[in-house]
Amino acid sequence: MRLNKYLAKAGVASRRESDRLIQAATTFVNGQLILDPAYSVTEADEVVFDNQRIRLKTEIIVLMLHKPKNTITTLKDTHGRRTVIDLIPSKERLFPVGRLDKDTTGLILLTNDGELANYLMHPKNRVPRVYKVEIEGRLDNKSTQKIERGMYIGEGEFGRGKVLTQKTEKKRSVLTLELRQGKKREIRRMFHFLDTHIFSLKRTSYGPVLLGDLPLGHWRHLEPKEIDALKEKDPR
């Protein structure tokens, strides 16, 4: 199999992230430094990543974490800030599926299955993520239509989502917003271009998996049926 796929199946990272890691000179096969993600390997080969031999995973693990604010969605942070990995006392090599910025709370998935992570994050699969967004004022119909049609959010990119609900009390509104692209800081960038202040942002679901009443900062293993549901393609 391709080396990037091997790293993904070994729980190092998603296949896309494995491409970057291999090209950053982190991986040796049978003592030889390999920079080509497409390099062919077998289970009999000795694959060393970051000075540790890695092997293919036989058990798929997926966790869900209720991420608090001021927590970084990376494996390590060069500035010593708290990461999502710091909140999970697991001996398994796990990595987050996608990212939430440090000020966004809510559901983040972590897994040792790079193939599953790659499927969930790839834009072509359009896996829905639902967010609760508290804003100043209220979105008018024109702004809602901009979001649903797709709007420019800078850096040559367009953001797009679907406003599912909007409830207004006094001078604030709470929206539920569905995304299917997963661009970096997409919601914050859309509302910046709409000149609308966000008070809080929380992800409440990823595909069929719901955050539910999991307390802030806590985590749990997904049940096998939940993992199976994540793998099912959405017909929409």
What is the tens place of the pLDDT at every residue in 78-107?
Answer: 788 889 989 988 777 788 998 999 999 999
**What CATH number is attached to the domain comprising 7?**
3.10.290.10
Q: Are 192 and 93 members of one domain?
A: no
In a domain, 31, yes or no: yes
CB count in 10 Å sphere of residue 64: 23
Q: Are residues 113 and 132 in the same domain?
A: no
pLDDT number for residue 234: 57
Which pLDDT score, from 0 to 100, does residue 90 have? 73
CA angle 83, 109, 91 (to 5 degrees): 60
Same domain, yes or no: 113 and 93? yes
Same domain, 118 and 212: yes
Domain holding 118: CATH number? 3.30.70.580
Answer yes or no: 101 catalytic.
Answer: yes
* pLDDT for the residue 235: 47
Shared-domain flag, residues 50 and 82: no
- What pLDDT, on a 0 to 100 scale, did the predictor assign at position 208? 94
Strands (E), 92-236: 95-96, 105-111, 129-136, 151-154, 157-159, 161-169, 172-179, 198-206, 209-210, 219-221
- In this prediction, what percent of the chain has a pLDDT beyond 70? 98
Residue 8 located in a structural domain: yes
* Residues 195 and 141 placed together within one structural domain of the fold: yes
* pLDDT on residue 16: 82
Q: Which domain holds residue 163?
A: 128-206
pTM, entire model: 0.79
Ordered per-residue pLDDT tens for the chain, 236 residues: 999 989 988 888 888 889 989 999 999 999 999 999 999 998 889 999 989 898 887 788 899 999 999 999 988 777 888 899 899 887 777 889 989 999 999 999 999 888 888 889 888 888 999 999 999 999 999 999 999 999 999 999 999 999 999 999 989 999 999 999 888 999 999 999 999 999 999 999 999 999 999 999 999 999 989 988 988 765 45
Q: Looking at 101, 113, 228, 234, which residue is catalytic? A: 101
Gap between the Cα atoms of 233 and 236, Å rounded: 9
Residue 236 counted as domain residue? no
Looking at the 3D structure of the chain, how many domains does it have? Answer: 3
User: Across the chain, what does the average pLDDT equal?
Assistant: 91
Q: Do 107 and 135 share a domain, yes or no?
A: no
Same domain, 74 and 95: yes
Pair 40, 141 in one domain: no
How far apart (Å, rounded) are the C-alpha atoms in residues 83 and 65?
A: 12
In order, the DSSP letters of 40-66 are B--TTS-EEETTEEE---SS--EEEEE
**Residue 44: beta bridge partners?**
none
Judgement on whether residues 217 and 189 belong to the same structural domain of the protein: no
**Would you call 180 helix, strand, or coil by DSSP?**
coil
In a domain, 134, yes or no: yes
Q: Is residue 117 part of a domain?
A: yes
Question: How many angstroms separate the CA atoms of 128 and 111, rounded?
Answer: 18
Give residue-wise pLDDT tens across range 189-211. 999 999 999 999 999 999 999 99
User: Quick one: 93 and 44 in the same domain?
Assistant: no
CATH of the domain at 136: 3.30.70.1560
148 shares its domain with 199: yes
